[in-house]
Amino acid sequence: MKSTTVLFTDVSSQTWIEETLFNAETHSDFSRDPGWFIQKQQLHGGTSEGVDLITVNNGALSLSIVPTRGMGVWKGDFQGTPLGWESPVKSPVNPAYVNLSERGGLGWLSGFNELICRCGLISNGPPGRDPSGNPLESDLTLHGRIANTPAHFVSVTLDPEDGGWIRIKGRVGEGMLFGSQLLL
């Protein structure tokens, strides 16, 4: 079997899949492990409204990836043992509900609950003012904007080589006119 790639999100081609499930039944030639799956869903309710969530499970390790929040890894599980920490923020927060400038630039904290979170790209660290930076980017918020920026491209590749590989690829841009143009 050759590798299979499926686009979940591609802004340039206006491709977006709201919900899907790949598993041993839908792709029987992919892996010998019957417990693997990839599930894409959109969350509803409260501050999670509209958040995309991709759960990847290889049969032993499960990770929940949040394309809406900079491709952060929300939580995980290894053979029944939870990976992560207990944040007071209980579910993924749609960036529309996070005001980064709030509380003196600490608004980032109102959405933070990931196991692996993106920081930066233009700034990383405490909020403040960068007097020597680009005037358009001199007001810095805690850990920057990338964790609250949705991915504009997300794909999943199933590759049967060496027992089966699952690849999730995402691209998140941070930039502005007359400012930095960065891609993660």
CATH fold label, 4-183: Beta-galactosidase; Chain A, domain 5 (2.70.98)
Indicate whether 163 pLDDT > 80. Answer: no
Q: How far, in Å, are 40, 75, 79 from residue 84 at the CA level?
A: 20, 6, 14
Reported as a single tens digit per residue, the pLDDT across 127-154 is 988 877 776 667 889 998 999 999 999 9
Please tell me the distance from the alpha carbon of residue 163 to that of residue 65, in angstroms, as a whole number.
22
Centre a 10 Å sphere on the Cβ of residue 138 and count the other Cβ atoms it contains: 13
**Domain residue spans in the chain?**
4-183
More confident residue, 52 or 35: 52
Q: Return all residues near 38 (Cβ < 8 A) that are at least 6 apart.
A: 20, 21, 22, 23, 54, 55, 56, 57, 156, 158, 166
For the entire predicted model, the pTM comes to 0.91
